[in-house]
Structures are given as C-alpha cells and as structure tokens.
Amino acid sequence: MHANRFVKNHGPSIEYDLPRLEVLAHICEQVAGVTTARVLHADMPRQKVVYERLVLTEPMESKIDDLEIMSRVGRLLADMHTAEFTVTPDFSAEPYPLESLGIDQHDAKMLTEALPPGWFHSDFWHGNVFVLDVGNIVVIDPLPAAFMFSRKHILASGALDVAMMYMSLLLVHPLLKQFFLSAPPHMAAAEKFLMSYLEQRDACSKQIVTSLRRVIRCLAEIWVSKLSARLVWPICAAKRTLATKSILAMEKTEEWRKI
C-alpha cells in the first residue's frame, strides 16, 4: 500500500462509476474552492479503483455549528451545478424526472425552470463532503445509491442534490448519533446551506423554497421507506422511529409551517 494512494472496491458497478468520477473531476477543475480525489488507476478485472489519497479529517457534519461553512458549501454546489460538461453516451441525455419522486407537475416545472438541469452528483450527502482548513471543500463519490436514483442520469435540476444534503443533515447518521441528535443546530445548518445555494442561483423566492421543501420531504420518505431493504429488523425499526421523529420536528419549525 502506498501512502499517497487509496484503493476502493467498486464491484460490478465500476464500469458505470468511472464515467461519473471523470465528470466530477472535470467539474472541480472549473470551480475554485472545490476538489476531489483523482483517479490514478482503474483495475477493471478486480473491479477496484486507485485514488489519490487525501487527508480528509473534517467531514461537513463536524462543522455543523459553523454556519459560514454551511453557506460556503451551498454557494460552491451552486457553482458546480452551473459548470459545463459534455453528456457522453454513458448517460441519458434526459434529466432526472422530478415527478418520479412524487411531487406534482407544478412543483417539478417550477424547480426545473428556476434551477435548470445541470451536473448531478446524485449522492450529495454530508458524508461525501469534507472541509479543508482554508474553507475549501472536497467532494467525493458521485455514485447514486440504487435505492435512491438511477445510475443513468448525470443531469438533474439542482433541487435534487440540495434536497439530498438537507435531508441527510437531519436523518442520515449512525444509530447512536441519531438517537442523541439535537435538531435545532442541524436544522439551522440545513437552512443556511439551502438559502445560500438559492441566493447563489438567484432563485430565492417563496415559491421555489416551498417547492424545494416538498422535494426534501419526498426524499426523506423514500429514504425511510427503503430502510427495511438495507438493515436488519431491530436496527431498521429504531432508525425508522428516530427518522420519523426528526421529520416531525422539521415540519414543526417556523420555516416549514409556512408550506
């Protein structure tokens, strides 16, 4: 093992993952303040990828009380979503259909117009974003979980990545951490991230915020509904109970009562 390398087993999905990693690297080249772990070598027979080893000691969630960091991540994501790239035959030329999440046509149309389809990370949760000591960020693993999004989509309205991060700050944590989770600071962080993103995209209207909250709610429901397929019963039941509690706390906040 080389100290400057990291090897990850991708399994059978490696042929789908590599094009997504290439697109992320291209996006990062265009956006100052964002980087990712470079792919050094792909071992297709062994289904492994050798990455540049980065020192990632500050996951985004560890900065939950630093609202300026949350704001910066929102602004940088907005810049990533407007970066240019070529959609190769590896992907669908059509953007991810927002209606498939369960939101109505009005919300889907409004969000698509306000936040036009661009690069789609597809798993933009706090575990895939790390903060460097200068306030810049490292974004990794643009690889959709099969239970959330299709691998064929590399285009989507920015609403999806934003909703994924917001939802994950409240729901996606180890069981013990979720049990003791303090909702107010996580809500404050999620709101700061959300509003900073929309301000950077010049899309900070009441109607857009309301529609985006409905996408967040839909993603939360999907995530909770899929727990039973991924976890054994006792852990699944506990996580579902805690997640439901967090969702109810979210909906009782002043911002969400306006929906």
3-state secondary structure of 51: strand
Instruction: Identify whether 34 is part of a domain.
Output: no
Instruction: Identify whether 28 is part of a domain.
Output: no
Instruction: Identify whether 36 is part of a domain.
Output: no
The CATH number of the domain holding residue 197 is: 3.90.1200.10
Q: For 41-83, how does the pLDDT look when each residue is reduced to its tens digit (9 = 90+)?
A: 999 999 999 999 998 889 999 999 999 999 999 999 999 999 9
Domain total in the chain: 1
Instruction: Identify whether 47 is part of a domain.
Output: no
Burial of 166 (0-12, 13-18, 19+ CB in 10 A): buried
Distance (Å, whole) CA 148 – CA 219: 8
For the whole prediction, is pTM greater than 0.85?
A: yes
The gap from C-alpha 71 to its chain's centroid, in whole angstroms, comes to: 15
The domain containing residue 94 runs over which residues?
58-257
Length of the chain: 259
Distance (Å, whole) CA 155 – CA 163: 15
Instruction: Identify whether 124 is part of a domain.
Output: yes
Q: For 148-185, how does the pLDDT look when each residue is reduced to its tens digit (9 = 90+)?
A: 999 999 999 999 999 999 999 999 999 999 999 999 99
49 and 11 Cβ atoms separated by less than 8 Å: no
Instruction: Identify whether 41 is part of a domain.
Output: no
Instruction: Identify whether 154 is part of a domain.
Output: yes
Instruction: Identify whether 227 is part of a domain.
Output: yes
Instruction: Name residue 129's beta-bridge partners.
Output: 139
